Chains A and B, each alone.
Chain A
């Protein structure tokens, strides 16, 4: 079964869970005076979950026939060429983003951003440290200045133990 139909199956499961929450758990919390309303907080989600299951089934069962497509070009995204792609780099970059999210508060914006930018280019195969590090430091400093001073949004610049 092709990936798109697997995803549709997951979507149906998701809609069922969503529908379960809407049909069986939400209405109990409703205060009695609101129960006389023609529309409840759960009304719209109920409709959506039913529609979602129906549309998901149409995709899973392949009721809508796809049209024949030509050979995709080399620059397009193509699942059958996944093994040629640099999956490792992409996963490492995603991990780096998660690490950045977790580190942003404790170690401060400037250090986290510098490490993120330098680390990102290192993952992509750059080895000219004498360019990467100055560029990252400069970029982190500029962005911090713009956000903090020009836009007036507070970003904690230094690690937590250095105070502000």
Chain B
């Protein structure tokens, strides 16, 4: 491991890569603050830039920096405007915004920055310990297990979508898988479902799909509902003065940050959970643990209530890199986009990543430390100035967001038809959003689709049929697990309903 860290240090400390971290963090913070642009949209927009860099290490470092920056930027707008730019920072606004209204905006931002830093750093340490271990286990996997593992990942994402949403999430996953079969696959060398159109020959570009699923609907929502993304109650608390917090507050926060960083990391590792669940759960857990007066403070500007979701969401972001780097299976929309970028750069994440290209693996981990440090020392003094971004009038902001969406899709392919596809898919995604369909499963399904089919076909060929399910116990076990994951939420909901009905009958 020490050797690996040294490789990572030399790679990450090259001038180019240091610049990438700094640039990524700044761009991420800057854009993450804007309402309506979450980390997924930002990373999707940045991908063409990262791909043209050509160097997978630099590209991944840039994108990871953008990811961290975006989460941090989201906290800034949650605290200052009560308008979270990112779902993962909604819990931050519970206590961050009341603090800002009390005139402690500076303090709130500092606490958020320190908690994020701690969460990210602890997460990176845990990643360093767990990823190599998981990687060596994953090396024992064959294509049959990979196939089963991806099925588990996809079902877990659907299962975590929330009660009453599992079938919808599954539907979106299948739609993603179907979209992935369009075009000429690597395995069969024959075009499928192109409907005779040349533009579909190479399949649907994942950047176009990512833009259409996230950036475009968000921008359209901003147009449709002007109230969205602006201050919830119209008042402004933009004055940022005193950035310090007291020693007592630090003492109160320290255990919260420690607990939530670890908890957040492990929630982040689970596929489908991620930063949003980690931050809400972290907030809830800390409120339950807190005693008496401190508990009453929650929701009114408690330092603990602010530190908990902030450390949890950053640790979860780091945790979500574990399945990506060790198994090559993304657990969240954001890591799915990162996976797509890596594949475009000819790097296949998975257990062999550590042995084949250790410099990529370790440089990413080291740059996580650097990224967190950059966010802390660079952004803290700059916050009052960066916050001015929030004052850009939406009449200018929205055309620019739309323009960058178009550019992202165009640069990758240099093909104007791609733009028409972007608009079409974007309209579809917006309608799906209106009907409460989750869109991340669609993108994850799309990205995993090709790999899922490849591994499935390979196992079928090796075992001359479906026998691999029976002959490999681990495969069978994983597939059963997937089935349980999908069925469990509705089973539990039914039991809860029965219980509720029993009560209703009684009165």
Residues 199-226 of chain B: 1 if any A CB is under 8 Å from the residue's CB, otherwise 0? Answer: 0000000000000000000001101111
Check A18–B178 contact: CB distance below 8 A.
Answer: yes
Q: A79-B435, A101-B419, A124-B394 are in contact. Are A44 and B457 (CB under 8 A)?
A: yes
Q: What A residues does B185 contact at CB under 8 A? A: 41
Asked if residues A79 and B460 are in contact (CB atoms below 8 Å), the reply is no
Task: State the interface size on chain B (CB cutoff 8 A).
Answer: 73
Q: A59-B167, A120-B399 are in contact. Are A64 and B490 (CB under 8 A)?
A: yes
Q: Report if A51 contacts B (CB, 8 A).
A: yes
Interface residue ranges of A108-164 to B (CB < 8 Å)? 113, 116-117, 119-121, 124-126, 132, 135, 139, 143, 147, 151-154
Query: For chains A and B in complex, what number of residue pairs have CB atoms within 8 angstroms?
Result: 189
Chain B positions 430 through 442: 1 when the CB is less than 8 Å from some CB of chain A, otherwise 0: 0111111100000
Distance in angstroms from A159 CB to nearest chain B CB is: 15
A11 engages B396 (CB within 8 Å): no
- Residue-wise, chain A 60-80 has the 8 Å CB interface mask toward B (1 for contact) of 000111110000011111010
Main secondary structure on B side of the interface with A: helix
Determine how close the nearest CB of chain A comes to the CB of B287; give it in whole angstroms: 19
A76 to B456, CA, bound (A): 40
Say whether A93 contacts B402, CB under 8 Å: yes
Which A residues are in CB contact (< 8 Å) with B227?
Answer: 74-75
| Interface size counted on chain A using CB atoms at 8 A | 74
A77 to B453, CA, bound (A): 35
- Tell me the residues in window 403-449 of chain B with beta carbons closer than 8 Å to chain A beta carbons: 403, 406-407, 410-411, 414, 416-417, 419-420, 422-423, 426-427, 431-437
- Please give 15 more A-B residue pairs, beta carbons under 8 A apart, in addition to A49-B178, A56-B171, A75-B225: A4-B436, A7-B437, A18-B193, A52-B178, A64-B167, A73-B232, A75-B229, A82-B434, A90-B223, A100-B406, A113-B403, A121-B396, A139-B400, A143-B403, A151-B48
Chain B interface (Cβ < 8 Å from any Cβ of A): 48-49, 52, 83, 163-168, 170-171, 174-175, 177-178, 181, 185, 187-188, 190, 192-193, 220-221, 223-230, 232, 393-396, 398-400, 402-403, 406-407, 410-411, 414, 416-417, 419-420, 422-423, 426-427, 431-437, 453, 456-457, 460-461, 464-465, 490, 493, 497
The interface of chain A, by Cβ under 8 A from chain B, is 2-4, 6-8, 11, 15, 18, 21, 26, 29, 34, 37-39, 41, 43-45, 48-49, 51-52, 55-56, 58-59, 63-67, 73-77, 79, 81-82, 84-87, 89-90, 93-94, 97-98, 100-102, 104-105, 113, 116-117, 119-121, 124-126, 132, 135, 139, 143, 147, 151-154
